[in-house]
Amino acid sequence: MTTDNITLTKKLGNTDIEVSALGIGTWAWGDSFFWDYGKTYGKDDIEEAFKATVAGGVTFFDTAEVYGNGKSEQLLGEFCQATDQKIDIATKYAPFPWRLFGGCVADALTQSLKNLQMDYIPLYQVHWPFMLMGQETLMNALADEVEKGRIGAIGVSNYSAEEMKKASEILGKRNIPLAVNQVKYSLLTRKIESKGILKTAQELGITLLAYSPLAQGLLTGKYNLDNAPNPEGARKLDSRFSASGLSKITPVLELLKQLGEKYQKTPAQVSLNWLMGQENVIPIPGAKNAKQAKDNTGALGWSLTTDEIAQLAEITQPWLKS
């Protein structure tokens, strides 16, 4: 294990805002439509996940107004009120088709801040790039909120390289950087590299928040040919969880296990550490209970060697366009 370049915090783009080098995504907190909140887990479980996350040195949480129709923000706000630890929150604005005017951004932010029981958040992101509101109107409305002091930095999500450049140019006229692009990124989902998004982000000084960094659990080692539990929910429709899909990732899982044994880490921790080893990437795995939270935080405080990072990149070359 190398002790070089170990970082516990990272800056959000070209801003002075510094957050933990690992975050937690809270889509599953309070969401019973896509997830099974209220059935197989509930408020007590995610509160324990929050506490275990913070105890493990992770204080950066990502949520959104659409997660559980505001429930995720409300729960996160409640948990934050009960701790003395400084917590950094990122949430997202949903660019619904009926939100046509700049004032819609201010109204949505006001509601999110109310849900979170806060008057300021470090990062406010655009949840997806498809909208009827023009980028000029949207980015300037977000810039207004930075100047008002209600948000610290501006981010986007799932933006292409060209969309990032355009948003960055608009904000640049206000002397405000585009700090973040939240994208799907893992060892088994590396399309942002082949699409030029990673390179463009590095050139522009934009931090990438990597959601689904464990590929829906495929990189935890829980799903493999020797032990293939029946997948639940959306996983049932995902061919990667079939016998043929699991066969394809077996070499990756074997390398993750091998590196994990070397460092006394889990495959999930090795996978997250690989992402943290990228110049401008902060992974944001989910956690529905304390056990998952502790597994996530075990990715902090150590580092794969440069050769090992390259080795994992080489073995996952087939997923550069996935």
Residues designated as active site: 67
Beta bridge partners of 123: 90, 153
Token look-up 């040195």 returns 57
Instruction: Specify whether the CB–CB gap between 288 and 28 falls below 8 A.
Output: yes
Spatial distance between the Cα atoms of 147 and 152, rounded to a whole number of angstroms: 9
Token reading at 283: 């992974």
DSSP three-state, residue 34: coil
Beta strands in the chain (DSSP E): 9-11, 18-20, 23-25, 60-62, 88-93, 121-126, 151-157, 178-184, 207-211, 281-283
Within 10 A of 183 (CB to CB), how many other CB atoms are there?
24
Handedness of CA 212, 305, 11, 102 (dihedral sign): negative
Which tokens go with 126?
């655009």
> What DSSP letter does each residue of 160-225 carry, written as one string?
-HHHHHHHHHHHHTTT--EEEEEEE-BTTB-HHHHTTHHHHHHHHTPEEEEESTTGGGGGGTSS-S
Q: Provide the 8-state DSSP code for 231.
A: P
CA 184 vs CA 157, 220, 221, 282: distances in Å: 9, 17, 19, 11
